[in-house]
Amino acid sequence: MFAIIGPTASGKSEIALKLAKKLNYEILSLDSLSIYKEIDIASAKPSKKELKEVKHYGINEVYPNEKFNVNKFIKIYKKIPHKNIIIVGGTGFYLKAMIEGISPMPEITDEIKKQAKKLNYEFLKKIDPLFVSKISSNDTYRIQKGIEIFLATNLPPSQYFKKHPPIPILPEIPIFEIEISRDDLRKRIKTRTEKMFKKGLIDEVAYLEKKYQDRRLPALKAIGIKEVLDYFNGKYSFEELKEKIITNTARLAKRQQIFNKTQFPQKISAPLKNLEEIILKHI
């Protein structure tokens, strides 16, 4: 088992499919958008033909109005009947969580969630200044989770996590990163964006909006979808829309590169053209 990481549009799926066929492996996708059914174009999901050629996990798992998180992702991994898999994708957080582990969460009832929404950052700061010192006052997700943990266990979250340390899910595995210059990546992003429009990105987003009628869904806030929704509102011209998607994708790619650099220090990095040979020598 090994992992291939890299920024969006760098060629990860391409090399993973090639190696999976050569080695008779299967693929676990590290992509927080490809997990959704019906989001095929915006996620740059492998084609139906490619999905038939190589068994994939972590793709088409839930509908856009269903919740998905790292715990559900780990459950998908645990159900894989063997370990002849290539882990590949741009959501490095999932890979990091698997290697380092995550703490088991207490049961959070709907009533607790409702109570937690009535409380705020200042409340959390009073009960757990240590936990709060490690998060931003704008990080509504972690603030909510911290309050929920306190309400469910009567323990400040920092104490709860001390009592329930993370349990690694995945043994240390070789991690290979696609090395690519900013200019080359920008060109690849532009090419991929053009392909998305040719495949029918606008129609796909129109379908999603009509079916789910809730732009607040996390899936509909993804790059490529949120910009098209703004286009429907008259915020951009068609050319501005394309440029906005390219720019936002490039920004995401930069964040992914920084994350991979800081979180996976033991990785092996090489240009796409050399990576296949390097991987085959190491496994």
**Predicted confidence (pLDDT) per residue in 154-211, tens digit:** 999 999 999 999 989 887 899 999 999 999 999 999 999 999 999 999 999 999 999 9
pLDDT of amino acid 252: 96
Give the pLDDT of residue 35: 97
Per-residue model confidence as pLDDT tens digits over 76-93:
999 999 889 999 999 999
pLDDT digits (tens, 9 = 90+) for 39-69: 999 999 999 999 999 999 999 999 999 989 8
With DSSP H G I counted as helix, E B as strand and the rest as coil, what are the percentages for the chain, rounded to 5? Answer: 55, 10, 35
Q: What is the mean pLDDT of the chain?
A: 95
Cα 104 vs. chain centroid, distance in angstroms? Answer: 20
pLDDT-based confidence at residue 280 (cuts at 50, 70, 90)? very high
**How high is the pLDDT of residue 269?**
97
Tokens at 72, concatenated: 């559900």
Would you identify the CATH topology of the domain 2-100+169-282?
Rossmann fold (3.40.50)
| Predicted local distance difference test score (pLDDT) of residue 32 | 92
Task: Give me the residues paired with residue 62 across strands.
Answer: 36
pLDDT in the model for residue 139: 86
Give the mean model confidence (pLDDT) for residues 105-130. 94
Q: What is the pLDDT of residue 104?
A: 85
Predicted local confidence at residue 141, as pLDDT: 84
Residues of the chain with CATH 3.40.50.300: 2-100+169-282
Q: What is the CA radius of gyration of the chain?
A: 20
Asked whether 202 and 42 are in contact (CB, 8 A), the reply is no
Helix ranges (DSSP H) in the chain? 12-23, 48-53, 70-79, 92-100, 110-118, 121-127, 129-132, 140-153, 157-163, 182-199, 201-212, 226-232, 238-263, 272-282
- pLDDT value of position 172: 83
**How many percent of the chain have pLDDT more than 90?**
89
Residue 52: per-residue pLDDT: 96
